[in-house]
Amino acid sequence: MAWKSRTRSLQVFDTELSADTVEWCPVPSSHDILACGTYQLQREGGEEDATPTRTGRLYLFEFKREGPMSPPLTELQRMDTAAILDLKWCHVPVSEKALLGMAAATGELQLYTLSGSQEGGRSLQALSSLEVGAERLALSLDWSTGRKDSSDVRVVCSDSAGCVSVLSLAEGALMALSQWKAHDFEAWISAFSYWDTQLVYSGGDDCKLKGWDLRVGPSSPTFTSKRHSMGVCSIHSNPHREHILATGSYDEQILLWDGRNMRQPLSENHVGGGVWRLKWHPAHQHLLLAACMHNDFHILHCQQALEGSEGACPVVASYILHNSLAYGADWSNVSLEDPAPCSPPATEPKESRTESGGHLRIQYESPTASFDTSLEDDAGRYIPEGTAAPSPTPAAVSALNPDGDAPSMSCLLASCSFYDHMLHVWRWDWTPDEAQQES
């Protein structure tokens, strides 16, 4: 069976400062909450040799589907902070509240709780912070709770001095458990194995991917891989498949690994652009979202690779509407059960921009040759509907189903880009080709 794959923008929001991280809340009571972080480098008086200052802003949004005339995102809160390098929600509630971790340019790991008011609104409240080191930037963080296990809530953080820190959370306060020098230069990324949270992975600007077993201490890594030819900047453990790990690098490669054999990757995928973030789908074990800095955002279908087939994972969807470095991306747990609306062919110009209520609507006729990408106009119609989308390559879609179960699916995602300071909320529809079904 052939499949149609389509990405459609729902809303575009100007974050004013350079946007580099977006995260949907994974806690069931707050699936509609989205956080976005920004990073702005400023030099005093514009002098090249002046000491730079790094400022940021943390945004909190609520997603609602109230009708075609209403933008789905509502801004709940904005908070000026130090520059933000990474955001991650804890996958489980802590003391019955959703918890957001932030890696800041001050070298701090900061925690915020999502609290509700008597009026029904929600906002973030500062809970705890801990400096992982002086004169360094906290670059990434990950929670040990990826498989929704609340028995051991810990955080791993990497920094610009090449160090990795593991912290615990006791009575709402962060406490350092261990810290060690992991990489020669910046440690861009650190992550837990969600299946064995005593295992930690790290990647650095020294082009090395390393594993660490916290039970034996960080005196030496369990493995060191030099398979990536440039800095390793993204790692994500698959929460649905034990031993499966995805890594990305400035070398424009996504590698899939079986953690029991780190000498040879299961799959090598050239996606173009440095791979800054990787996210496995929260429910479908074979779908991997990639933010590819200079080459937009892509969704890979990894089923064949995880089942032992050789070759690259097919790209089944691309989102190409950002105009700057593709940095932040995340899947939402919000269900989009309603089919996407249809409309007559658009007659408006190919590109136009209007501003309304703090968000931007863009009408854009996609130049992509492989996937149909469109945006919504102010009447809630998608543009262009009248243009037939070229199908992805047969290798990408023939006989593929997201997990071999549902006949179709629709996903809600968010992404952000750096220099144009834009946050996009979009949907991906994956449906059978009706024409082929009829024939």
**Domains in the chain: boundaries:** 10-339
pLDDT of residue 247: 98
Q: How far is CA 267 from CA 244, 284, 311, 366, 419, in A?
A: 11, 19, 6, 30, 32
Both tokens of residue 263? Answer: 């000498």
Can you tell me whether residue 46 is helix, strand or coil?
Answer: helix
Collect contacts of 48-56 with beta carbons under 8 A, ≥24 apart.
Answer: 54/82, 54/83, 54/105, 54/137, 55/17, 55/80, 55/81, 55/82, 55/83, 56/17, 56/80, 56/81, 56/82, 56/83, 56/84, 56/104, 56/105
Can you tell me whether residue 317 is helix, strand or coil?
Answer: strand
pLDDT of residue 214: 97
pLDDT of residue 437: 45
CA dihedral 379, 381, 384, 385 (to 10 degrees): -140
272: which DSSP letter? S
Report whether 64 contacts 32 (CB < 8 A): yes
Q: How far is CA 232 from CA 111, 208, 331, 420, in A?
A: 26, 7, 22, 25
Exposed e or buried b for every residue in 337-349, given b needs 16+ CB within 10 A? eeebeebeebeee
Phi, psi torsion values for 437, nearest 5 degrees: -60, -45
pLDDT of residue 178: 97
Residue in 431, 220, 436, 422 with CA at minimum distance from that of residue 324: 422
Distance between CA atoms of residues 297 and 277, nearest Å = 10
Report whether 235 contacts 254 (CB < 8 A): no
Can you tell me whether residue 181 is helix, strand or coil?
Answer: strand
Phi, psi torsion values for 32, nearest 5 degrees: -85, 5
Q: What's the Rg (C-alpha) of the chain?
A: 21
Residues 6 or more apart whose CB falls under 8 angstroms from that of 354 comprise: 360, 361, 378
Reading the chain (439 residues) residue by residue, the pLDDT tens digits are 467 899 999 999 999 999 999 999 999 999 999 999 999 998 776 666 777 899 999 999 999 987 666 789 999 999 999 999 999 999 999 999 999 999 999 999 999 999 997 777 899 999 999 999 999 999 999 999 999 999 999 999 999 999 999 999 988 899 999 999 999 999 999 999 999 999 999 999 999 999 999 999 888 999 999 999 999 999 999 999 999 999 999 999 999 999 999 999 999 999 999 999 999 999 999 999 999 999 999 999 999 999 999 899 999 999 999 999 999 999 999 988 754 444 333 223 233 333 334 444 443 333 333 334 445 444 443 333 332 333 344 444 444 565 555 568 999 999 999 999 999 999 999 986 654 444 3
Phi, psi torsion values for 172, nearest 5 degrees: 80, 5
- Does domain 10-339 sit in CATH 1.10.10.10? no
User: Beta 3-14 vs 372-376: how paired, if at all?
Assistant: parallel
293: which DSSP letter? B
pLDDT of residue 46: 63
CB atoms within 10 A of CB 116: 12
